[in-house]
Structure 1
């Protein structure tokens, strides 16, 4: 059992699967059937051979068996000798064919130990004779070409002579029981060679299946990511079995096909079929080999272009790696823009390589290839407009350095830390732990507030707003806000917290507190902001100043403050804190 594949799929049975077994049974039937038919060919040859029928009857009967649209031709033993296309001496091509067939029949009816075919010059062409008897005249118009020359006529006449000589030899062979019996023995003897070859092929396919299954399973176990195998062993086993079966079936058919063609060539009246089978296979394989050989030089040029593109795309990797690490800073190329610049450079190199190698790809000049290219281009044009827009927006964000990984930003109504700056989208993580994916086009079209660059220094900026009435001194409000910032853990004192009076409204003054927070102490921005809000409430309650945010319309009958004695009523007295008192 191959150890590389699952037991239920790779424990190979003692026999090949069902359909190869069916092929084996079919092969036996196909091999026995031709043998029986070939043994009967001597009788068939006797039945098909020309008999002593009056010439007029033969001439009258032959055209009836030929389709009306076929050109009249002289035939013997299944071979075409001459094709009649022109009228001569007042005879139509059909009449010429009937007369030639009758002359040949008359020659065959005469007793002769051998037949000799000869050519003689005639008034309008060449005369074809058998044992001195005229069979037919070959005319220049029978060649079917415009303005035939004497060389063309001589070549055509020699071909007709050779075909007739071969057909006469096969005619004599068909009437020789000794030669037919010998051919049948050769065919039956060849089965003793074919059957062991098919048996050996079956054994080799079984052994190959076991070895390939074992090797494929061992290699598949090595392809793992984080302990997970990338390729399914079951599917890999199915693929190996399919490949082996296809190769087995192809070789089996090739052997049977070649044997059948060879067997048919052993008998005169099936020799033409065998030659046609062999010629069809030869032409098919020759066409494949010629096509592959003609496409190989251009394919080598395309491969060379792709190899050069790979070399160029990787040659500058050390330079860009140094730029990403910060060792190289050219102004426009720094640690933030090195990676996208390398991607753009690689994309340009490979796009240029594909454009250069396209004319050299096999089949690139065919109409099917061109139509497929147009279809793909149309689909890309219709569906890639938004993709191109997102990619362009991503490049703008990268090269304008609007965002960097690790910075805390606010984009529209979304706020968080940048975790990934991609080509098409940017990911940010909020203070509550959520991850947001924002399209780059949305970011480029929105106002982006970068808190990590506000005020300078380490960390990121925080701000909050309160509204206090005009009856409270603004100096006291600023002092209380700075005191709350100083008590909040994680807020830096350098740069110092700042307070701005951003609006003098009808009933209140709007104060805005801006501080700088350490990113690692206490952690997320939302937690630091929550702690800051808690300290602001405590400080204002401690000094008896009420916060009337967000709107202040008038003084209430009783001040809205919480004295320190009531800061922790039940259940807050014994329960958990709403916000962890980090650093306090």
Structure 2
């Protein structure tokens, strides 16, 4: 009779939740959404209430269930946990008393089955009952304390063993590196600095050691907490977190394998196509095939082709790389795009100018050129800069954009065979016959060692000024190194002065101002005043 009255009381208490009670009760349950409340006993989460029953909010239901369960756990009798259905709800009973009710609204289902949620809550409650009994058992607590002490001693021993192993490895490692150092050489130069390699490996060993310490510490804390009933939920959560992390890493590795396989396949395909394109370009670069593809343009063409192939392969493989869809990769892409947009104007302009110089063949290494006020032998034509070495030993680095925007005079193109054009300008008065001036300039060129007899040096009258005509001597000289050309011009100018002095002709360069009382020339007997010596005379005199 007592059980029947209890069941009727419970039935009438849950009728409003089931929609069978008064309209006022239903409106209270449905009108105002309540905040969920978690039922937690002895650090274990048993159930989370969401519904309002008979005006009791989830917080009030949690408070009442906590009081009932705590009072029951204080007793010494054996407590059985069971689940009984009441219409479409379920009662969780503790020692024959109602602990709490699991209603459909608690699990977010209208009229749904609450059996599984109630059974799960009952399972956790049984575990709470068992752990409460263990917490009162002195023999169990002493046993747990003993296991904790053993685990602590084992933990300390493993830490010391790992530290000892790290120290033991440092000595043989250094000796092994010294023995193998002579094998890692390029010629007579060691490829690696043993000191820095040793520091790197020592830091790697230290990193592995601390990772091992952290892992052992994590496991030790988790094991010790799991030995005692009150802290066991914390230890279990630590194990769950570690297993979730390992599962996450393992799943990430397994999920990344197909993408990495595709990316590696694209890499090998791009490598094969790049090698094939280089060999194909080498065949096409043979004389008579393509006019624009020569020995000078083969190397940059091969590099550009390889760069285009690898960029295309990178774009194709990017979606298959691990983490390509993460925010980190997106942020890196934005950073690279910003850097390229900020520096692209000058870099791309210089690179385009380098390509123009390469494919237009304006100049090449070994040629003697004049770019603006800079004159010398081209030593290197790069993608962004061109290096010129002057006859005075200076090395000039000119931006390619400067070369493409200036007039370039190439003295090595208008010659027969190897060599370069050398020229100089003198101005002589109108009282000297032009035929005599031309003959004297040709004679000075003939006396200069390094100037070729064929083609024959030529003299051009490039201007008839108010007071003098202008004569330009043009000849071809070898070799094409910059220092001999400077020396050659010095010898040529010395021979021009000597020849004009021999024939008593005054050189009016750079400007004619008026006829002096005496002609400005040096007779032969005055060519070697002190400290000059006749042995210092130019060759051919």
What is the match of residue 105 of structure 2?
141
| Equivalent position of 1:443 in the other structure | 403
Residues 450, 522 of structure 1: CA spacing in aligned structure 2 closer, same or farther, 3 A cutoff? Answer: closer
2:141 equivalent to 1:184:
no
Cα distance in 1 between the residues matched to 2:74 and 2:524: 139
Take 1:109 and 1:162, find their aligned partners in 2: how far apart are those partners? 19
| Rounded Cα–Cα distance in structure 2 between residues aligned with 1:146 and 1:370 | 40
Q: 2:91 aligns with which of 103, 127, 151?
A: 127
For structure 2, the 5+ residue unaligned runs are 1-33
1:287 alignment counterpart: 248
State the distance in 2 between where 1:582 and 1:159 align.
112
CA RMSD of aligned residues (A): 2.7
For 1:116, the equivalent position in structure 2 comes to 80
Match of residue 96, structure 1, among 48, 61, 66? 61
Deviation, 1:322, is 6.8
SS at match of 2:470: strand
Query: Is the CA contact (8 Å cut-off) linking 1:78 and 1:269 kept in structure 2?
Result: yes
Q: Which whole-Å CA distance do the structure 2 matches of 1:492 and 1:309 have between them?
A: 52
* Distance verdict in 2 for CA 1:189–1:328, change over 3 Å: farther
Larger RCO, structure (CA 8 Å, separation 6 or more): 1
The partner residue of 2:316 within 346, 356, 368 is 356
Name the CA distance, whole Å, in 2 between partners of 1:501 and 1:560: 22
Please name the residue that 2:200 is paired with. 239
Question: Given that residues 452 and 475 in structure 2 are in contact (C-alpha distance below 8 angstroms), is that contact kept between their aligned partners in structure 1?
Answer: yes
**Do the aligned partners of residues 583 and 236 (structure 1) sit closer, same or farther apart at CA in structure 2, a change above 3 Å counting?**
farther
Secondary structure, counterpart of 2:340 in structure 1 = helix
Secondary structure, aligned partner of 2:341: helix
Kept in 2: contact 1:302–1:361 (CA 8 A): yes
Match of 2:496 in 1: 536
In 2, are the aligned partners of 1:522 and 1:528 still within 8 Å (CA)? no
Aligned equivalents of 2:105 and 2:237: distance in 1?
28
Per-residue displacement from partner, 1:455-483 (whole Å, max 9, x unpaired)?
42331111111122222222222111111
Show CA shifts across 1:376-404 (max 9, x none).
21221221211211111111111111101
1:81 is displaced (CA, Å) by 2.1
Partner secondary structure for residue 472 of structure 1: coil
Q: In structure 1, what is the Cα distance between the partners aligned to 2:50 and 2:473? A: 108
Residue 279 of structure 2 is aligned to residue 315 of structure 1: no
Question: How does 1:44-83 map onto structure 2 within 5 Å?
Answer: 71-83=36-48
1:349-382 C-alpha deviation (Å, 9 max, x unpaired): 1221222222223333233432332232122122
Does 1:507 find its partner at 2:467?
A: yes
Q: Distance in 2 between matches of 1:406 and 1:420?
A: 8
Q: CA deviation at 1:157?
A: 0.9
Give the match's secondary structure for 1:549.
coil
Greater shift after overlay, 465-474 or 70-79? 70-79
Cα distance between partner residues in 2 of 1:228 and 1:385: 41
- Tell me the distance in 2 between the aligned counterparts of 1:370 and 1:221: 45
- 1:330 counterpart = 2:290: yes
Q: Normalising by the residue count of structure 1, what TM-score does the alignment of the two structures yield?
A: 0.80
- Looking at structure 1, the residues matched to 67 and 460 of structure 2 have their Cα atoms a distance apart, in angstroms, of 124
| Residues 521/179 of structure 1: CA separation in 2 closer, same or farther (3 Å cut) | closer
Q: TM-score, normalised by structure 2?
A: 0.86
Once residues 181 and 69 of structure 2 are traced to their aligned partners in structure 1, the CA distance between those partners, rounded to angstroms, is 71
Cα deviation, residue 106, structure 1: 4.5
1:477-501 Cα shifts (integer Å, max 9, x gaps) = 2111111111111110011111111
Contact 2:441–2:459 under 8 Å retained in 1: yes
Q: Say whether the 8 Å CA contact 2:368–2:480 is kept in structure 1.
A: no
Q: 2:52·2:58 contact (CA, 8 Å) conserved in 1?
A: yes
Q: Which residue of 2 aligns with 1:56?
A: none
Partner of 1:403: 363
- Is the Cα–Cα contact under 8 Å of residues 447 and 540 in structure 2 kept in the other structure? no
Q: Is the alpha carbon distance of 1:478 and 1:393 closer, same or farther for their aligned partners in structure 2, counting shifts above 3 Å? A: same
Q: Deviations for 1:198-224, whole angstroms, at most 9, x for unmatched residues?
A: 232222222344455455666676666
Please state how far the C-alpha of 1:436 moved relative to its aligned partner: 0.8
- Contact 2:357–2:404 (Cα < 8 Å) also in 1: yes
Asked if 1:87 is matched to 2:52, the reply is yes
Structure-1 separation of matches of 2:513 and 2:147: 119
* Preserved CA contact (<8 Å) 1:323 1:338: no
Alignment deviations for residues 56-89 of structure 1 (CA, whole Å, 9 cap, x no partner): xxxxxxxxxxxxx985444433222233332324
Moved more, 176-185 or 188-197: 188-197
Counterpart of 2:17? none
Question: Which residue does the alignment assign to 1:566?
Answer: 526
TM-fit CA distance, 1:542: 1.1
Tell me if structure 1 keeps the 8 A contact 2:366–2:480.
no
Gaps in structure 1 of 5+ consecutive residues: 1-68
How far apart are the structure 2 equivalents of 1:162 and 1:521? 95
> SS state of the match for residue 519, structure 1?
coil
Q: Per the alignment, in what secondary structure is the counterpart of residue 265 of structure 1?
A: helix
Q: How far does residue 582 in structure 1 lie from its aligned partner after superposition? A: 5.0
Alpha-carbon shift at residue 435 of structure 1 (Å): 1.0
Q: Distance in 2 between matches of 1:384 and 1:214?
A: 50
Query: Is the 8 Å Cα contact of residues 323 and 335 (structure 1) preserved in structure 2?
Result: no
For residues 257-308 of structure 1, give each alpha carbon's deviation from its aligned partner in whole angstroms, at most 9, with x where no partner exists.
Answer: 2122112212211111111111122222222222333233223322332332
Is 1:463 aligned to residue 423 of structure 2?
A: yes
